[in-house]
Each structure stands twice: as C-alpha cells, then as structure tokens.
A and B are shown apart, each in its own frame.
Chain A
Amino acid sequence: MRIRALAFRIIRQFIKDKRTLALMLLAPLLVLTLMKLVFDGQAVDPRIGTVQIPGPVIEALQSNGADVTPFDNEEQALAQMGDAELDAVFMLNDTLPQIVLEGSNPTKIRNVMAVAQKSLQKLGGNGDPPQLELSYLHGSGDRDIFDYYGSVLVGFFSFFFVFLIAGVSFLRERTTGTLQRLLATPLRRWEVVAGYLLGFGLFTLLQASLIAWYATSVLGIALEGSFFLVLLMNLLLALAALTLGTLLSAYAQNEFQMFQFIPLIIVPQIFFCGLIDLQSMPEWLQTVGKALPLYYGADALRGIMLRGAGWNDIWVDSIVLVGFSVLFAILNVLALRKHRRI
C-alpha cells in the first residue's frame, strides 16, 4: 500500500515533468540515430583457426598479422568460433581453400579477408591466387558496422539516461527535505527503495520498449534473436542503472556532483562493454570490465541481436544483472540509515 503510494506519486511527478520524460525517452533515440550516421570502424588482429593447413600458409597468415590457432578437425574449430573465440576458420575443401567467417562484426570480416588475400597472394607466387570459398556462421556478410555497435548502444543508452534521471530525482528528494519528511512517517527504508523501483520501473519499461523498437524497426539494426529478449535485457540493464543511480545519489550533495559520476561510473563502462575490442586489453583490465553491469548487458544484447542467442545463452548475464540490482538496492537501504537509523 505504502510502496504503491510512493510509486504512484513518482509516476504523477514524472508525467508533469514532460521535459525529463522526453530526455529519458527520446534522447537515446536521437543519439543512436546520430551514432548510426557517424560511426566508423577500427582494425584489430583477426583470430583465425586453421584445420589441416600446411605450415607455410600458417606462417604467411601470421606474418600478415593474424593470430593463428591450428586445430585437428573442423568440428573443434567451428565450436570455438561458435563461442566467439575465433573470427574465422581456414580449411581445405579438397584442394581449394575455404573460409568460414564468424560474421557478426563487419570490421573483423574485412580484416580477415584482407589478411587472407595477402597471404594467398604471397604463396601463389606469380600465378593467379586460388579462389576463396566463403561462408558465414552468422549473417551473410551484409552486416554494417552499426549493427555491431548498435546492439551494444541500445543497452548503453537505457543505462545512461535511467542512471542520471533516477539519481537526480532521488537526490532532489533529499535536498528538498521530502526524504526527511518521508522518514518521519512509518515508511520503512526498504519501502522507500521499493517504491522508487516500482515508480521508475514503469518508465524504464516504456523506455526499453521504445528503444528496442526504434533500433530494430526504424534504424534497422540487425535482430536475429527474439525481440522479447532484447526488451528483457534492456529492462534488466535499466533496473541496474536505477538502483545504482539512487545509491550513488546518496554520495552527491547536489545535481552537479551527480553529474561528476558520469566520467567515473558511466564512461569506463563504455570502454568495457565491447565497443572497443577487449582482446586488445591486458588480462587484468578485462577482469575489471567483468565487475561492471554494462559488460553483461552488452554481452547478452550482442548475442541476441547478432547471433540469435536464446535464453540458454543469456541466462547467466541476466542473473548477474539481477544480482547487481539486488546488491545496489540493499546497499541503498543501508545508505538510508544515514537519514534515519531504523
């Protein structure tokens, strides 16, 4: 009853603050559109698996910058690629060279092809290079760069705007004295947090649906998996952002200090969520990424949208995200002790 009252009040306030509502719902769409227009790629050494390929070819691939792993049979190599550990597999079909590309990242497709063609040219000597037979594990080579980044950005913008808006609203509850007033009622601390979750939850659901629909239907970002799972991941990310935002607002004195969390909390998550290839980072830095919520959301969204991943592939990511939200919510209940001990 009390939680519902709190949630209802938040919804009422939100509906009256049209500008903030617009920021939360429309700004992600605007930025996503802009990103689509301006994005361009970057080069990373391709990881290539080989199946019964002669030594000189492997050396030629390596000398052109590929990270080569030899395999004994085709199944092993393809399974490894299925786990996104490889970008392509080289094998011989009778005597003709054949390449199977992982296919979800257009930059990597381009890199693999460049390396392969250079290597074959060198080996072919003065004759014509042998023709390559191409096939794709995901997609058919028609993915553009924005499909790859877009899948991650869909999650990022849910996260970013919910974090800011939830953080600032909770902060204002404190600075205007209404939090004190709430705590002078028999409202329990966990009820305050639950009320916020419920009230904001409605708008994050709205936002998640709008972003997922806009990204796939209007911007045409690839969607191999289920739309419902994209929605679910977006919602889970938004809940993590909501709980983190309200938690951190306890450590800000005013709105300006809330914005100071952007470079500290939000920007690092961009680096680790897959926009920049994690392989190029040292091991310990990759571990840091795994402590951040966006890493899991982005991992799952990439899987669903580019590789058609189902619930079996993303349930771990979902549980980790729920875990983050629960942790942040509990910490928030504890942080409220600062304002009322019981």
Chain B
Amino acid sequence: MNLPEHSSVASSYDCVVAVDVSRQFGKKKVLDEISLTVKRGEIFGLLGPSGSGKTTLVRLVTGLDIPDGGSITLLGEPMPKLNVLSRIGYMAQSDALYGELTAQENLEFFSTLYGLRGNSLKKRIQEVAELVKLSDDLKKPVQQYSGGMKRRLSLAVALMHEPEVLVLDEPTVGIDPVLRKSVWNELDNLRRGGVTILVTTHVMDEADKCDRLAMLRDGKVIALGTPEQLKADSHSATMEDAFITYGGGVA
C-alpha cells in the first residue's frame, strides 16, 4: 500500500531526516531547531556532553516522543509511526532488562514482540549471543550480570530482529576497552551489511569511528560533518579540541 521510495525524493538515500526539530520541557528548551540528515548505510554519531539533548533527539527519532516544532522522517515515513518501529533496533541509555529473567529469556521475550519464534528464534539467539560474547552466560539471571554484560545484552536485544536501522544511546558506557573495540568492529560489520547506525556518545575518541557526526551543545547543532572535516576546519588535532573550538572556545 505505501511505497516509501515514492513518498519523497530524498527517502531512497536518507534514513533519518530531521527538519527544524524543537522540543521543550516546561520552560527549558532541550532541542532548538535541529536539522540533520542521516544517510542510509552510514554510522552517524551524536556527540555532546550529558544534557546536550542527545537522548531527547533519539527518543524523537524512535517515535517515543513528539517534537513541539519541526518534523522527523524515518525510512521515508513521518514519525511517529507504529509500523516503522519493527524496522529499527533501539538500545536505550538505561539497560531495560528484566533482572529476574535469564539473558536467554530476555532475548526470547523482546524478540517475540518483533514476531520471531521457533527454531529461527533459537538460532538467532545463539548468533547474537556469540556476537556480544555472552554465549556462556545465557542461562544466568540478568541481575547477576555486571554493568558491561548488561550493556552487551541490551545491544543483543536491539540486534535480534535484524533491523535496518540501529539507534544506540550510549552503547559503550561501562564496557572495558577491549570489548568496546569489538563492539565498534561489530558496528562496522553491520554497516557493511547495509545497516544504518545512529549512535550517541560523549566519548570523544569514539566519534572518530563515525562516518559523520553532529556535535550537540545546549540543544543546538554546533557542527556537522565527517570527523576529518570537523578537525580540519577547526584546526584541531583531536576531536576534543574541535569540540571546544566549535563550542566557542575555552573561557
């Protein structure tokens, strides 16, 4: 019935299109006329300190919240739209897992919501557990998991139904450096498989691994481009220096 590739010219290349998006809670403007585009098949980073509006923007993209102004289009569909939600994998900032249940039971539960079942579900659980290195701990109740393990399980939940778009809110918090590297390698593999990834982080060196990124500060986009561009334009050697330059420099 709906043919997203005809609904707008941009939709065949663009995964997320945000136009003049604003959101305020009470008097506080959390997002102030943000416009950005995430292309299909790229890793797009949202970089900014906590309180800069990253999570709010991510919640708008996933349809959990509605902007006060502007519009968001995801995979060619204006958000919020329920049937687009089955095409995205979302990993929230807090680990939304059921502590009493085992990792396997958590994976089974969330996957069933996306319609996975039977043998393909079992096979997929093994694959994804292998990917996040949790195969040996699947039978453990999640409340016995460490912070890093919970993070990995959250990522696994987001990957289960092989979504076209991954929206990851601070995916590597509390994960040790070795594992963080392997998570990023995995994101790279997924991208090569055609998955679009929108990832938020406040770790500057992670930003280097994104194809393109937007720097957020106080609800505004202060810079947007490839990591190399941003560093070159601000004459900075590191992402951290670039951020300071765009943010108005050190007082």
Contact = CB atoms under 8 A, between A and B. Distances in A.
Interface in A182-215: 182-188
A188 B82 contact: yes
B96 A340 contact: no
Interface in A2-35: 2, 5-6, 8-9, 12-13, 16-17
A58 to B, nearest CB: 67
B81 A342 contact: yes
A255 B119 CA distance: 39
B109 interface: yes
Interface string B84-114: 0110101010111111110001000110111
A117 B3 CA distance: 88
Given A177-B92, A183-B64, A340 B80 contact: yes
A185 B114 contact: yes
Contacts, number: 78
A198 to B, nearest CB: 14
Interface string A247-290: 00000000000000000000000000000000000000000000
B94 A177 contact: yes
A187 B109 CA distance: 12
A1 interface: yes
Contact of B64 (A1, A9, A188, A340): A340
Contacts of B80: 340-342
B120 interface: no
Contacts of A12: 100-101, 105
B66 interface: yes
Interface in B31-82: 62-66, 80-82
A333 to B, nearest CB: 14
Interface residues of A, number: 26
Nearest to A2: B113
B217 to A, nearest CB: 25
Contacts of A176: 94, 96-97, 99
Contacts of A180: 64, 92, 96
Q: Which label, helix, strand, loop or mixed, suits the secondary structure of the B interface?
A: loop
A328 B97 CA distance: 27
Nearest to B99: A176
Nearest to A185: B113
B85 A178 contact: no
Given A9-B98, A181-B90, A186-B82, A339 B113 contact: no
Contact of A13 (B90, B101, B115, B157): B101
Contacts of B96: 176-178, 180-181
B83 interface: yes
A210 to B, nearest CB: 23
A227 to B, nearest CB: 34
Interface string A161-190: 000000000000000111011111111100
A5 to B, nearest CB: 4
A185 B109 CA distance: 12
Contacts of A342: 63, 80-82
Given A185-B85, A341-B80, A13 B100 contact: yes
Interface of A: 1-2, 5-6, 8-9, 12-13, 16-17, 176-178, 180-188, 339-342
21 contacts: A1-B112, A2-B112, A5-B113, A9-B98, A9-B105, A9-B109, A12-B101, A13-B100, A17-B100, A176-B96, A176-B99, A181-B90, A181-B110, A184-B88, A184-B90, A185-B113, A186-B85, A186-B86, A188-B82, A340-B65, A342-B81
